[in-house]
Amino acid sequence: MRRSRDVVVVALYDLFRRRGFEGASLSDISEATGLGRSSLYHHFPGGKDDMAAAVTDFATEWIGKKLLAPLKTDAPIDARIAEMLAATRRMYDGGATPCLVASLIISPGLDQKSVVRIRNIVRDWIAGIASALTANGLPGDEARRRATSAIIAIQGALLVARACGEDRIFGETLDRLQQELLS
C-alpha cells in the first residue's frame, strides 16, 4: 500500500528538482503525475506545500538509504566512501540532473517545514561522512572539515557544470573526492 502514492511522489521529486518549487506549476504537476487537479488535492490536501513536504520526506529517506547507509557498513572505509560517491553520481545522473536541495533552497515561497527538512538533509549528509572518517581514526574536526568540503564540492560542481554547460566538470570533481577524503 501507498505504492501508487510513491510513484506520484517520485514524479514530484523529479519535477521539483528540475524546476524548483515556484517553477513547477499545478499544470506541470498534473502533466508529470498524470493526475487531475482534484486528485492531487485528494492526495495532498495542503496543496503544493504538502507536495514539497512529501518530496523532502522522500529525499530524506532516499539519501539515508542510498548514501548514508553504505557509510555505516563494516566494509573498508575506501569501499564505503566509494559506494557513497557512486550513489551520488547516479542520483545526479552524472551531473545532468539538478539537486533538489539546491533547487528548493533558493525558492522564496517554500514552506518552512520543508526548509528545515532540506537543512537536515545537508547536515545529515555531512555528519554521515564525518562519522565514517572519525571511526576510521581521523580527528573529529578534520573529519568534519573534509566532509563539509566534499558536500561543497559536490553542490558547487553541479551548479558550475550546469552554468557552464559542461557536464564533464561534475564527473571530474567526483573523481577527485575519493582521494581528497581519504588522503
Chain positions 162 to 181 lying near a copy of itself, rule: CB under 8 A, are: 162-165, 169, 173
Greatest alpha-carbon span in the chain: 55
- With binding defined as CB under 7 A, does residue 77 bind DNA? no
Q: Which does 19 bind (CB under 5 to 8 A by kind): a copy of itself, DNA, none?
A: a copy of itself
Q: Between 3-19 and 48-63, two packed helices, what is the crossing angle to 10 degrees? A: 100
- With binding defined as CB under 8 A, does residue 155 bind a copy of itself? yes
Provide the grid cell at 147: 566532509
Count of CB atoms within 10 A of residue 5's CB? Answer: 12
Sole window of 37-45, 66-74, 79-87, 151-159 interacting with a copy of itself (rule: CB under 8 A): 151-159
Contact 99, 92 (CB under 8 A): yes
Among 32, 82, 86, 102, binds a copy of itself (CB under 8 A): 102
**SS3 at position 86:** helix
Backbone angles phi, psi at 21, to 5 degrees: -75, -50
Among 4, 73, 120, 179, binds DNA (CB under 7 A): 4
The residue (of 80 and 117) whose beta carbon lies closer to a copy of itself is 117
Among 32, 82, 122, 182, binds a copy of itself (CB under 8 A): 122
